[in-house]
Amino acid sequence: MTTQQYIDLIADVTANSGASIVSGIFMTLFLFTTTLILGALLGIRLFMWYYNGNKIVTSIINVIYAYMNYVPMSTFLIFVFYIFFRGNGKLNVVAAIIALSVIFAFSVFYSLEISIKSVSQGEIEAAYSMGYDRKLVLKKIILPAALPMFLFQLRANVIKHVQNTAIVEIISVMDIQMVADIIASEGIVPIIPIAITTVVYILIGFGGARLIDHISAKINRERTAEEQKEWFKHGRF
Amino acid sequence: MIKVEHIKKAYGNREVFRDLSLTVNDGEVVGIIGPSGTGKSLLLRCMIMLENPTEGKIYLDDEEITAPDCNIDDVHKRIGMVFQNFNLFSRMSVVENVMSGPVHLDNMHPQDAYEKSMKLLKSVGLADKAFLYPNKLSGGEKQRVAMARTLALEPEIILMDEPTSSLDPIMSTEVSSVIRMLKAQGHTMVIATHEMELIRQVCTKVIFLLDGKVWEEGTPDKIFDDADREETRIFVQALKLLEFDVQSDDFDFIGMQTSILNFTYRNGVPETVVNKLLSISEEFVQMIIIQSKGSNIMNMSFAYNQKDGSIDACIRFSGPKLDPDNPVYFFSWPIIQMRADEITSEEIFEDGFTNCVRLKLKK
């Protein structure tokens, strides 16, 4: 490239950068808002099915939940583009909305599950003993008690969601869609490495989580009287 | 009326109830006693159908509540339960806790429910704390709120699972007052408790549970003073007995004083006797254990006589022969002699003890 060509390129990018930035911000806000609302609604709906104990739905949710936990978002995006929108480049934003909504839905689901499990069993039992039915217990006792913890977790989830829908992610979404189109045009064979990668991610994530659980159990256990005396003897506290 | 017929309850291979039957008639106040693990709490939970019996039937008036087609939510509205750990709704204020049943279950207007709840809170002495949240209350106050919350639904029967066992003697007094008030109002109640004094004051019938069934039942005087069966007598006697083994100066002396206070409160021991007991136990600990820097050992047992309100104490200890001129006993022994109404001492040689002092503390 000559110097003049380089200067012309920079001038061209600078002239169009304002429009690009506005367009990018609009897309980010649109994706963020849409997927936040859809994801929250979906997450709550999934949780209600899970809470009501429908065995088939619960099993499906558990499988998807495990997948969402360990597989990177970009890999999930490729799957969505490949499975639902193979070959149709015009629907990349729709695919992004679906993928990001599902990701946020499961973060909402997980937060609800943890928050609700933290509610005192005694309060729940007292409500049942008074005559509350299952739905009323959830609505009037469990959810209000779980709300503070849920909101605390939701805050972190929303921040993460902002990151997921950032302009950089939008750019990579288009690239990912392009990759998915290429893969789709080659048939089923190219998906095998992606599937293997997915399994590897799940194994690494699962193994990592187990390692942390193991370390946590070692650190968090209560020390015996002998161990404590030994610590004090050696000046540890 | 609630009628339990031949219920069995098993968890896997472990059978808790083998064949348990009892009846609670309208207006009765029934006390349930028995050793720990015998199923007192479980019985109450079965009666309110928080747990399903493995076999047998339970009737509320003429309705079989163990039937599969029975509406459990309706049953729960007719039977109220007060839990050992209060179980107040942490996100609701005191008055909201009491209002929750009438508003959510009886569809009462919140303003009407509020007025009703304030009357109930006033009756349990907590109207001035209506807008506080449970984490600001003492244990006794929480339990009184729990009782008011149960009363708000106007249940036909009130079940109480060890209502005072999580409380110290002062808080227990507050709650016991409310229970006496409920009895005076004619409420039907079933109370699982170890508090003999409470049972004597409020219960019309006492049921002793053992080995998965009703071992004996009768009036409080009958069960506590003249039980027919030996196991009942042994259990009741154990409730009236308090014992400590002191093996070193690491012993929890403060815990001992608390145990003495709880024991005397549960048995309704007169205050003068309680003061004497606290004083002499402290002097014996000082004299035998602390002065010897833990080289002596001691066993103290205190038995309460319901009939005359006195305590018989037997203190066995090791160390030199008991002699008031011996410097070891010089300071504490005169105080002990002053506090005890009757006192005898003798030398013994058993289990490592060399002295035995028996005292009687009268009111």
**What pLDDT, on a 0 to 100 scale, did the predictor assign at position A220?**
67
Give the CA distances from residue B227 to residues A38, B198, B304, in Å, rounded to whole numbers and listed in that order. Answer: 70, 18, 17
**What pLDDT, on a 0 to 100 scale, did the predictor assign at position B149?**
96
- The per-residue DSSP string of B86-148 comes to ----TTS-HHHHHHHHHHHTS---HHHHHHHHHHHHHHTT-GGGTTS-GGGS-HHHHHHHHHH
* Residue B311: strand, helix, or coil: strand
- Is residue B160 domain-shared with residue B232, that is, in the same domain? yes
**CATH number of the CATH domain containing B313:** 3.30.565.10
CA distance A54 to A43: 16
**Nearest CA-CA partner of B272 in B303, B310, B306:** B310
In the predicted model, what is the mean pLDDT of chain A? 77
CA distance B40 to B207: 10
**CATH number of the CATH domain containing B197:** 3.40.50.300
Question: Inter-chain contact B50–A127, Cβ cutoff 8 Å?
Answer: no
Question: Inter-chain contact B73–A131, Cβ cutoff 8 Å?
Answer: yes
Question: Inter-chain contact B90–A122, Cβ cutoff 8 Å?
Answer: no
Q: Are strands B79-82 and B157-161 parallel, antiparallel or unpaired?
A: parallel
Residues of B in contact with A136 (CB under 8 A): 104-105
More confident residue, A181 or B315: B315
- The band of A178, judged by pLDDT with boundaries at 50, 70 and 90, is low
Q: Are strands B205-210 and B213-218 parallel, antiparallel or unpaired?
A: antiparallel
- Is residue B309 domain-shared with residue B201, that is, in the same domain? no
Select from B237, B263, B293 the last residue of a domain.
B237
**Beta carbons within 8 Å of B188's beta carbon, 6+ residues apart:** B24, B25, B26, B27, B28, B29, B156, B157, B158
**What pLDDT, on a 0 to 100 scale, did the predictor assign at position A173?**
60
- The band of A64, judged by pLDDT with boundaries at 50, 70 and 90, is confident
> Which of B77, B92, B104 has the most A C-beta neighbours within 10 Å, making it the best mutation to test the interface with A?
B104
**In sequence order, what are the beta bridge partners of B205?**
B30
Question: Inter-chain contact A131–B48, Cβ cutoff 8 Å?
Answer: no
**What pLDDT, on a 0 to 100 scale, did the predictor assign at position A166?**
67
Q: Which domain holds residue B48?
A: 2-237
Sheet harboring B310-317: ordered strands across?
Answer: B241-246, B298-305, B310-317, B353-361, B342-350
**What pLDDT, on a 0 to 100 scale, did the predictor assign at position B278?**
92
Question: Inter-chain contact B83–A125, Cβ cutoff 8 Å?
Answer: yes
Question: Inter-chain contact B50–A144, Cβ cutoff 8 Å?
Answer: no
**What pLDDT, on a 0 to 100 scale, did the predictor assign at position A39?**
92
Question: Inter-chain contact A130–B153, Cβ cutoff 8 Å?
Answer: yes
Residues of B in contact with A122 (CB under 8 A): 83, 85-87
- Is residue B122 domain-shared with residue B203, that is, in the same domain? yes
Sheet harboring B63-64: ordered strands across?
Answer: B14-24, B2-11, B55-60, B63-64
**Beta carbons within 8 Å of B267's beta carbon, 6+ residues apart:** B196, B197, B239, B240, B304, B306
- Is residue B118 domain-shared with residue B232, that is, in the same domain? yes
Nearest CA in chain B to A140: B104
- Is residue B140 domain-shared with residue B258, that is, in the same domain? no
CA distance B154 to B145: 15
Q: CB-based contact (8 Å) between A49 and chain B? A: no
**What pLDDT, on a 0 to 100 scale, did the predictor assign at position B59?**
92
CA distance B108 to B115: 11
Nearest CA in chain A to B82: A126
Tokens 């029967």 correspond to what residue? Answer: B157
- The band of A174, judged by pLDDT with boundaries at 50, 70 and 90, is low
- Is residue B191 domain-shared with residue B339, that is, in the same domain? no
- Is residue B132 domain-shared with residue B94, that is, in the same domain? yes
More confident residue, B222 or A75: B222
Select from B204, B237, B270 the last residue of a domain.
B237
Most confident of A109-113, A127-131, A149-153, B283-287: A127-131
How many domains does chain B divide into? 2
- The per-residue DSSP string of B273-291 comes to HHHHHHHHHHHHIIIIIIT
**In sequence order, what are the beta bridge partners of B160?**
B82, B191
What tokens does A134 get?
Answer: 């299952």
Q: A27-50 pLDDT, tens per residue?
A: 777 878 888 899 999 999 988 888
Residues of A in contact with B83 (CB under 8 A): 122, 125-126, 129
More confident residue, A132 or A175: A132
- Is residue B267 domain-shared with residue B213, that is, in the same domain? no
**What pLDDT, on a 0 to 100 scale, did the predictor assign at position A157?**
84
**Beta carbons within 8 Å of A154's beta carbon, 6+ residues apart:** A108, A111
**Nearest CA-CA partner of B290 in B350, B331, B345:** B331
SS (H, E, C) A15-67: HHHHHHHHHHHHHHHHHHHHHHHHHHHHHHHHHHHHHCCCHHHHHHHHHHHHH
What tokens does B139 get?
Answer: 């244990």
Residues of A in contact with B90 (CB under 8 A): 120, 123, 145
**For B199, how many CA atoms within 13 A lie in the half-sphere containing its CB?**
28
- The band of A12, judged by pLDDT with boundaries at 50, 70 and 90, is low
**What pLDDT, on a 0 to 100 scale, did the predictor assign at position A20?**
63
Answer whether 0.90 is exceeded by the pTM.
no
- Is residue B50 domain-shared with residue B191, that is, in the same domain? yes
Question: Inter-chain contact B83–A123, Cβ cutoff 8 Å?
Answer: no
CA distance A106 to A99: 11
**What pLDDT, on a 0 to 100 scale, did the predictor assign at position A185?**
66
**What pLDDT, on a 0 to 100 scale, did the predictor assign at position B153?**
94
Across B126-240, the runs of DSSP E, i.e. the strands, are 157-161, 188-192, 205-210, 213-218
Interface of B with A (CB under 8 A): 48, 50, 73-74, 76-77, 80-81, 83, 85-92, 100-101, 104-105, 146, 149-150, 153
**What pLDDT, on a 0 to 100 scale, did the predictor assign at position B288?**
87
| Residue B278 identity (one-letter amino acid) | L
Residues in chain B with pLDDT < 70?
Answer: none
- Is residue B193 domain-shared with residue B291, that is, in the same domain? no
Q: CB-based contact (8 Å) between A170 and chain B? A: no
Nearest CA in chain B to A120: B87
Residues of B in contact with A125 (CB under 8 A): 50, 83, 87
- Is residue B228 domain-shared with residue B257, that is, in the same domain? no
Select from B180, B208, B237 the last residue of a domain.
B237
Question: Inter-chain contact B105–A129, Cβ cutoff 8 Å?
Answer: no
Question: Inter-chain contact B74–A123, Cβ cutoff 8 Å?
Answer: no
